[in-house]
Chains A and B, each alone.
Chain A
């Protein structure tokens, strides 16, 4: 806050600041609660109180007597998974909000840049063709593929000196190309089992997530959020398009590249670890905008929070909808997301 701010303004700001901090705290509590619930659900149900006791024990705050199997399951398997789900939702929603603002297209989402298609190509190159001779993991392959697709789109759309529409078209072209390559490899070189593995991975699963993945995602999504928040005002300036932004003093080309690269890193990181999880990046920003309005300084944190909660809930749903079996998370986000999205669309229509 600036020192030149006048007193009456400061007086107006204080309650707003308190209100916002309260909201933030409440949101974090809700995330904590849903993460706790998520941790308790599984083949071995664990009560919420045990979950929190394990966490406080591990943090060294308490020393309850606890079942060691419970402690291991919670700490080593389920907690990392639930927290990762929260980060994943936050990251995808954030990336979606950025894409929608900068491309000024309500349908834009992280995968518009062909990132998921690139990731899948990278993955099949490793899994089926055995590229990298075991030295490169599936995740790294997917990350490289995702980034290759992003560079392809960046070159194609900037080479054409394009605006927002060109970027979207370039993204569609990239998606088609990389999906075709993936299908080609799967049909010509893969066996049925490999095809099934790739398919399952593509639809998304938090199954393989442990602490190392969580820390990496925490760093990427955390830094991504901070970086995007620095651009909040610049994103506001894009409201009336590229030219209006430029005439307000925004370096449009540079901003685009930086923000695209940020979304690409966030998305590629997530996709490479858990596969493609659609719809979160599309739906959550709309929901958040509907509640908190279009100002990015508020919208971006709201997207991260709503995205986190939504994804943890989706992860819970993926494990309880069908007994003894877990659905791919991408299936759940779409099944839950579409009706929810329809409600928003309907209400938006009535509001306007």
Chain B
């Protein structure tokens, strides 16, 4: 049992941003959330992480209503990575990753071996071990994002939620980050803009339009010429890539 949304509704003022969304994430798989700007991707992810409360409907985490969890209990289980969170504090990589242990520590408890293991594994997994003592400000955009992933992994989550983590990264770092995320064993839900990247790295896709889900399924099922035209308003050809056997989208000029 992983994370599930049941008929979520969320509004800003009178505007309905999320309009009756229901879905269930498959345990251990990477679910890509697609949709044009303003379709409600970020809002949906925030509802899943309980950074916002739904006006109606509920999020179910491991069979239990998310509203019954305490903040800290959610943080022990669900890690959230924002689009590009930054800080003006003069932190080192290791300090940032250690923040991930926050929900697991009580006010007076010391740093335990378990904390240490989680942090070291997170650094190793994201390839940031060699940079552990580097200053946050000295990192490239890709390294900053990997550090955020390491911080999230240090939370030892069962669910990982990422909001367009590849934004503002160059191609090399985008691919590196997507490879990393798709290799992770936990249930992940990731909002993405690049449809080809979504096709290559996500196990399943969910497409949003004006606050509703308009398609779900495998990349092959979802990414059709018709959907691209109806939802994304672009003409494109979808072929099966001879290199990775996933759908490949070529946009018409």
Contacts and interface: CB of A to CB of B under 8 A. Distances in A.
Interface residues of B, number: 36
Nearest to B109: A2
B107 interface: yes
Interface of B: 49, 51, 71-76, 78-80, 82, 85-91, 95-96, 99-100, 102-103, 105, 107, 109-114, 116, 137, 155
B90 A294 contact: yes
B114 A243 contact: no
Interface in A1-60: 1-2, 4-6, 9
A196 interface: no
Interface of A: 1-2, 4-6, 9, 104, 106, 230, 233, 236-237, 239-241, 243-244, 246-251, 289, 293-295, 352
A4 B105 contact: no
Contacts of A2: 109-112
A104 B78 CA distance: 25
A236 B80 contact: no
A297 B124 CA distance: 27
A289 B82 contact: no
B99 A237 contact: yes
B99 A236 contact: yes
Contacts of B137: 352
A11 to B, nearest CB: 14
A243 B86 CA distance: 12
B51 A246 contact: yes
Contact of B74 (A6, A233, A249): A249
B102 A295 contact: no
Smallest CB-CB A-B distances: 3 pairs: A249-B75, A249-B103, A249-B72
B85 A244 contact: yes
B71 A244 contact: no
Of A2, A4, A6, A352, most buried by chain B (CB within 10 Å of CB) is A2
Nearest to A248: B102
Nearest to A295: B95
A239 B87 contact: yes
Nearest to B75: A249
B48 to A, nearest CB: 11
A240 B102 contact: no
Nearest to B98: A236
A236 B96 CA distance: 9
B100 A5 contact: no
A104 B89 CA distance: 9
A166 to B, nearest CB: 16
Contacts of B102: 233, 236-237, 248-250
Contact of A249 (B76, B95, B109): B76
Contacts of B75: 247-249
Contacts of B99: 236-237, 239-240, 248
